[in-house]
């Protein structure tokens, strides 16, 4: 495991501890790195009105955007699952908005095992202006 993945995994695990998931009890953490090496993390935050819930990946991406950054160089997601946890469809689309097709996407299980993919692999026909 390379150093960037270790840093992202650590940040995502810490973020997952802050997840607000009183309805699903499904805690998720995400962390991304920008091209300048900054790391932004996020957790899922649920709401009694389920449509207002925000996923960990979008939480991290929106923090990044709020800081003026626009390009993800790599992103990682982890949950309390035996299987590798992929981003949901909405998160895949938002990841595509702020990434290149070859941007690494790391999906982890609860043990911290990592499966690497790319944005193009997880959403091959994304709707973006960068066709």
Query: Is residue 38 a part of any domain in this protein?
Result: yes
Residue 99, domain CATH: 3.40.140.10
Query: Is residue 105 a part of any domain in this protein?
Result: yes
The catalytic residue among 3, 17, 35, 57 is: 57
Query: Is residue 128 a part of any domain in this protein?
Result: no
What the block records as the tokens of 7 is 């840093």
The total number of structural domains in the chain stands at 1
What is the domain range of residue 50? 3-122
Query: Is residue 68 a part of any domain in this protein?
Result: yes
Q: Is 17 a catalytic residue?
A: no
What is the pLDDT confidence band of residue 125, given thresholds at 50, 70 and 90? confident
Give whole-number Cα distances, 108 to 30, 54, 116, 128, 129, in Å: 10, 19, 9, 26, 29
pLDDT over threshold 70, residue 130: no
What is the pLDDT confidence band of residue 98, given thresholds at 50, 70 and 90? very high
Q: Helix count (H) and strand count (E) of the chain? A: 4, 5
Query: Is residue 47 a part of any domain in this protein?
Result: yes
Tens of pLDDT, residues 21-50: 999 999 999 999 999 999 999 999 999 999
Q: What average pLDDT is seen over the chain?
A: 96
Query: Is residue 130 a part of any domain in this protein?
Result: no
């Amino acid at each position: 495991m390379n150093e960037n993945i270790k840093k992202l995994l650590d940040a995502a695990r810490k973020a997952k501890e802050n997840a607000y998931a009183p309805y699903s009890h499904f805690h998720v953490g995400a962390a991304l790195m920008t091209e300048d090496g900054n790391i932004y993390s996020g957790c899922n935050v649920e709401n009694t009105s389920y449509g207002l819930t925000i996923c960990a990946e979008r939480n991290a991406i929106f923090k990044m955007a709020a800081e003026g950054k626009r390009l993800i160089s790599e992103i990682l997601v982890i949950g309390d699952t035996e299987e590798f946890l992929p981003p949901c469809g909405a998160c895949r689309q938002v990841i595509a908005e702020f990434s290149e097709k070859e941007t690494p996407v790391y999906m982890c299980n609860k043990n911290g095992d990592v499966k690497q993919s790319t944005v193009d692999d997880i959403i091959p026909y994304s709707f973006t202006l960068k066709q």
